[in-house]
Amino acid sequence: MSLLEVSNLHTHFISHDLNNNLRIAKGLNGVTFEVDKGEVVGIVGETGAGKSLTAMSIMGLLQPPARVVEGSVRFDGNEILGLPAEELNKIRGTELTMIVQSPLTSLDPLSRVGKQLVRAQREHRNISKDEAWAAGVETMTTVGIPDPERRMSAWPHELSGGMAQRVLIALALINGPRMIIADEPTTGLDVTVQAQILDLLQGLVRDRDMGAMIITHDLGVVAHYCTRICVMFAGSIIETGPVRRVFNDPRHPYTQALISSTPKRIAEKGYGQIGGPPPNLYALPAGCHYRDRCSRAAEVCHTSPLLQEIGAAHHARCHFATESSSESATVQHG
160 touches other proteins (CB under 8 A): yes
Site for other proteins in 55-84 (CB under 8 A): 56, 62-66
Question: How far apart are alpha carbons 126 and 103 in whole angstroms?
Answer: 28
Range in contact with other proteins (rule: CB under 8 A) among 33-41, 109-117, 128-136, 261-269: 261-269
**Cβ proximity to other proteins, 62 vs 88, nearer residue:** 62
HSE at residue 262, side-chain half, CA atoms within 13 A, is 13
Find the radius of gyration of the CA atoms of the chain: 21
**Cβ proximity to other proteins, 71 vs 278, nearer residue:** 278
Helix (H) or strand (E) holding 263: helix 263-269
Per CB under 8 A, the list member of 79, 123, 138, 190 interacting with other proteins is 190
313 touches other proteins (CB under 8 A): no
30 touches other proteins (CB under 8 A): no
318 touches other proteins (CB under 8 A): no
**Cβ proximity to other proteins, 147 vs 327, nearer residue:** 147
Number of neighbours of residue 199 by Cβ within 10 angstroms:
12
Per CB under 8 A, the list member of 48, 156, 211, 305 interacting with other proteins is 48
Range in contact with other proteins (rule: CB under 8 A) among 14-22, 31-39, 106-114, 125-133: 14-22
Helix (H) or strand (E) holding 72: strand 66-75
Count residues binding other proteins (CB under 8 A).
81
Name the CA dihedral angle for 97, 98, 104, 107, rounded to a multiple of 10 degrees: -30
Q: What is the DSSP letter of 120?
A: H
**Cβ proximity to other proteins, 87 vs 190, nearer residue:** 190
- Report the SS3 class of residue 64: coil
* Contact criterion met (CB below 8 Å) for 11 and 66: yes
Closest separation between CB of residue 146 and other proteins, Å? 5
Site for other proteins in 209-238 (CB under 8 A): 217-224
Question: How far apart are alpha carbons 223 and 198 in whole angstroms?
Answer: 12
Per CB under 8 A, the list member of 69, 83, 193, 307 interacting with other proteins is 193
Amino acid letter, 199: D
Closest separation between CB of residue 62 and other proteins, Å? 8
CB contact set of 229 (below 8 Å; sequence gap of 6+): 41, 42, 43, 44, 222, 239, 240, 241, 242, 243, 246, 247
Per CB under 8 A, the list member of 8, 15, 78, 322 interacting with other proteins is 15
201 touches other proteins (CB under 8 A): no
**Cβ proximity to other proteins, 96 vs 167, nearer residue:** 167
Question: How far apart are alpha carbons 17 and 256 in whole angstroms?
Answer: 37
Site for other proteins in 264-303 (CB under 8 A): 264-267, 271-278, 280-283
HSE at residue 294, side-chain half, CA atoms within 13 A, is 23
Site for other proteins in 162-181 (CB under 8 A): 162-163
Site for other proteins in 93-152 (CB under 8 A): 145-147, 150
85 touches other proteins (CB under 8 A): no
